[in-house]
């Protein structure tokens, strides 16, 4: 496919909801429409003129099927698979492929059409706080949380009173368990309420460095055993959004890092500005995004758990609610951002949050 032909069809291809990827004989990507950006979470600028296997390095099945197509072995129709995306959970897709011939009848490339089926709540894709179903869920959750928290407060108060009056240390051990468990249940109920709550329209200018410093101090205080290395970009512009919600996000992420490293690990927090960020949407104008990267050298996350990391109520912690990461993803998306996690067992975890700059 000639370069002038590619330019001519680009606008047409961008109108497709599905992903369209075209590779030449060397398996170099020459076409990558907006639908492909939506499916993969990879910008066109990052994909064009790069080998397919490099861009989709976590999805070797995709490269293998395109290689089969290009080699004339076979084409595929709605082959089911999943694409690992840069700033979200993996996405189920169906892949159809075709061969492109030159005027002389020679193979000159291959096309891939990536289509997304109906998306479920599990991965929170298409999760719209303004949607009718979620509004109903929000009302139901608010009522349920209210009905449970009322007697829960009474149970906690009764256990405290019994603890003060009981001189028996065995009884106070039991009342301490009641108080601790009611507190844990109360925390989980607050998370359920926050998870299903409609988005608050808050657009404050936020100094992300000041916000991160306050969260780091809140978690670690003056603990000299944990090393938090900060590499802040001094030229970073402010963000625009809900500072209270973002505090919740970074509390979750940094607490996870702290639990992963134990008492003698290292955590790094790096910020920088991305000036040529081009993702899915109707606008083709590049956006300025602020990148916040949190890396730890802790235990890491098992590969089997990575696909479920954003699933509500999934947790590997004994005392976890399973809503921390799902809530963090919801908040970041509501702020117009992206969240990505990469992890290797025994090596550590890197969490990257991208948020739009205020200007």
Residue where a domain terminates, one of 115, 150, 185? 115
Q: Can you give the pLDDT at residue 121?
A: 33
Query: pLDDT tens digits, residue range 17-34?
Result: 678 999 999 999 999 988
- Is 248:287 a contact under the CB 8 Å cutoff? no
Give the bridge partners for 290, in sequence order. 273, 355
Minimum mean pLDDT among 6-15, 134-143, 225-234: which range?
A: 134-143
Our separate counts of H helices and E strands in the chain read 11, 12
pLDDT (tens digit, 9 = 90+) per residue, 68-108? Answer: 999 887 888 888 899 988 666 788 888 989 888 777 778 88
Whether 14 and 55 map to the same domain: the answer is yes
pLDDT bracket for residue 292 (50, 70, 90): very high
DSSP-assigned beta bridge partners for residue 293: 270, 352
User: Between vectors from CA 167 to CA 162 and to CA 172, what angle results, nearest 5°?
Assistant: 55
CATH code, 65: 3.30.450.20
- Residue 338 near residue 88, CB atoms below 8 Å: yes
Beta-carbon contacts of 211 under 8 Å, excluding residues fewer than 6 positions away, are 243, 246, 247, 250
Token pair belonging to 115 = 């289509």
Q: Do both 216 and 340 map to the same domain?
A: yes
DSSP assignment of 211-253: HHHHHHHHHHTT-SSSEEEEE--TTPPPEEE-HHHHHHHHHHH
Task: Give the pLDDT of residue 65.
Answer: 95
What is the share, in percent, of the chain residues with pLDDT greater than 90? 26
- Tally of domains in the chain: 3
- Give me the residue label for tokens 């101090």: 217
Measured between alpha carbons, how far is 44 from 63 in angstroms, rounded to an integer?
18
The domain of 286 spans 204-356
Give a yes or no: residue 124 inside a domain: no
Q: Which CATH number covers residue 336?
A: 3.30.565.10
Alpha carbon of residue 70 to chain centroid: 33
Cβ distance 275 to 306 under 8 Å?
no
Q: Where a domain ends, among 115, 150, 168?
A: 115
**What pLDDT, on the 0 to 100 scale, is given for residue 203?**
78
Residues 19, 48, single domain; the answer is: yes
179 and 292 housed in the same domain: no
Q: What share of the chain in percent tops pLDDT 70?
A: 75
pTM exceeding the 0.75 threshold for the entire prediction: no
Place of tokens 């990052």: 46
- Any domain includes 13: yes
Confidence (pLDDT) at 239:
92
pLDDT at 304: 82
Q: Is residue 126 part of a domain?
A: no
């Amino acid at each position: 496919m000639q370069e002038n032909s590619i330019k001519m069809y680009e606008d047409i291809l961008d109108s497709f909801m599905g992903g369209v990827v075209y590779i030449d004989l060397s398996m170099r990507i020459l076409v990558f429409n907006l639908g492909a950006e939506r499916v993969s979470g990879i910008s066109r600028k990052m994909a064009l003129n790069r080998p397919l296997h490099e861009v989709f390095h976590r999805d070797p099945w995709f490269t293998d099927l395109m290689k089969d197509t290009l080699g004339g072995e076979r084409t595929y129709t709605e082959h089911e698979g999943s694409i690992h995306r840069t700033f979200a959970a993996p996405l189920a897709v169906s892949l159809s492929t075709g061969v492109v011939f030159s005027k002389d009848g020679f193979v000159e490339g291959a096309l891939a059409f990536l289509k997304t089926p109906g998306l479920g709540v599990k991965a929170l894709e298409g999760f719209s706080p303004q949607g009718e179903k979620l509004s109903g869920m929000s009302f139901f959750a608010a009522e349920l949380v209210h009905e449970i928290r009322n007697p829960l407060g009474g149970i906690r108060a009764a256990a405290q009173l019994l603890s003060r009056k009981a001189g028996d240390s065995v009884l106070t051990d039991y009342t301490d368990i009641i108080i601790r468990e009611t507190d844990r249940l109360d925390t989980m109920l607050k998370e359920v309420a926050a998870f299903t709550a409609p988005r608050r329209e808050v657009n404050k200018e936020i100094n992300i460095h000041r916000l991160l410093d306050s969260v780091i101090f809140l978690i670690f205080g003056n603990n000299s055993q944990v090393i938090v290395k900060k590499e802040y970009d001094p030229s970073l512009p402010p963000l625009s959004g809900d500072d209270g919600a973002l505090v919740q996000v970074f509390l979750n992420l940094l607490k996870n890092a702290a639990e992963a490293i134990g008492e003698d690990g290292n955590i790094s927090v790096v910020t920088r500005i991305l000036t040529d960020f081009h993702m899915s949407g109707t606008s083709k104008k590049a956006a300025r995004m602020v990148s916040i990267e949190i890396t730890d050298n802790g235990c890491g996350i098992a590969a089997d758990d990575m696909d479920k990391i954003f699933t509500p109520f999934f947790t590997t912690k004994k005392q976890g609610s399973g809503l921390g990461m799902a809530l963090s993803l919801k908040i970041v998306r509501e702020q117009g951002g992206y969240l990505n996690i990469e992890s290797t067992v025994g090596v550590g975890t890197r969490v990257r949050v991208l948020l739009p700059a205020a200007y």
